[in-house]
Amino acid sequence: MNDNDLRRKIIEHKALSSFQRRVYLALIDIPRGETITYGELARRIGCRSAQAVGQALKRNPFAPEVPCHRVVSADGSLGGYNGQREGAELERKRCLLEAEKSSK
């Protein structure tokens, strides 16, 4: 699916809040193999809460096509993935990032 199709899918999704739409649309602009912090993503969309961004990412119905795995904590650690801060989901995030970096 290309970025335009993905944008349309996000915009047309009926169950998303306008805040979630802004977060997910901004994620599409993060290049493969690169990361951004929750705080920086919040700033890019005009929000002052990295935690609010994290909550939107936790509910991302489009993962991994809408790449919430590219968002990391301010200290450079992975943070969480699918609402989990350890275990299989965090390992999945690590694998997705490593695969993108190795295919760059």
Q: What are the residue numbers of the active site?
A: 68
**By three-state DSSP, how is residue 60 classified?**
coil
| Alpha carbon 62 to chain centroid, angstroms | 10
Kindly give the residue spans of alpha helices, DSSP state H, lying in 3-71.
3-12, 18-27, 38-44, 50-58
